Copies of this chain bind each other. A is one copy, B any other.
Amino acid sequence: MQSKTRTIGRDGPSFIEVARRAQIVECAIDTIATLGYAQASLHQIAERAGISKSVISYHFAGKDELIQQVIDDVSAAGAAAMWPRVQAETTSAGMLRAYIHSHIEFMRTHPKHVAAVTEIFTHYRSKTHEAAATPLEERLRQGQRDGEFREFSPRVMAWTIRAAIDEVGRRFVATPDLDLTECARELSETFALATNR
C-alpha cells in the first residue's frame, strides 16, 4: 500500500514499512552514489537491496517519490547536523566558517549521501535546488547590513560558496582519500578573505 493511500489512523505506518522504506532509501543512495543517477534504475537499486524490483513499487508510489525521499532524508540529516553549528555562531564571519566546515564535516560522515544528492540535483533539475542557497544568501546579506562584510552580490557569493562546497563533495566521492580537513580550511580562508570588509 502506498503512503498516499495509507490510513492516517493513530498507528501510522508499521514498523516493517518504515524499515523497508529506510532500507530502500539507503540502497538508492548507495546505488546513485556508486553508479551515478543515470544508471540507478529500480532494477539496480532492488538488486543491491536483495529484493525484487516491485518491492520498491510497493513501498513507493513511483521512482519520483523514492528520489524525493532520498532528497528529504539527506537534507533533513544535513540540516540537523549543520544549522545548529551555524546558529551557534555570533558573528557573520564565524557563521560562514561554520557553514563551510559543517558542510564538509557532513561529507566526511555521510559521503555517499552527499554524493547521491549531488547526483540527483544535477540530473533532476529540482525546484528545491534553487531554494537551498537562499538561507545562506540571506545570512550573507545580514553580514553586510551589520557592516561585517564588504559590499558584494550576496546572490553570486552564495552561488560561489555552494558551488565550491559541492565541488569538494564531487572530488571526495571520486577520490575518497581527499584531505577534507585541508579543503575545509582552504575554502574557509578563501571566503573569509573574499567577504571581509
Partner-B contacts on A (CB < 8 A): 5, 36-38, 47, 122-123, 125, 130, 152-153, 156-157, 159-160, 162-164, 166-168, 171, 174, 182-183, 186-187, 189-191, 193-194, 196
Contact = CB atoms under 8 A, between A and B. Distances in A.
A121 to B, nearest CB: 8
Contact of A194 (B130, B171, B191): B191
A187 B190 CA distance: 12
Contacts of A168: 156, 159
B125 A160 contact: no
Contacts of A166: 163
Contact of A160 (B5, B130, B157, B187): B187
A159 B167 contact: yes
Contacts of A174: 130
Contacts of A160: 160, 163-164, 167, 187, 190
B186 A153 contact: yes
Contacts of A37: 123
Contact of A190 (B122, B157, B167, B183): B157
A182 B47 CA distance: 49
B186 A47 contact: no
28 contacts: A5-B47, A36-B125, A37-B123, A38-B125, A122-B122, A123-B123, A130-B174, A152-B186, A152-B189, A153-B183, A153-B186, A156-B168, A156-B182, A156-B187, A156-B190, A159-B164, A160-B164, A160-B167, A160-B187, A162-B167, A163-B163, A163-B167, A164-B164, A190-B194, A191-B194, A193-B193, A193-B196, A194-B194
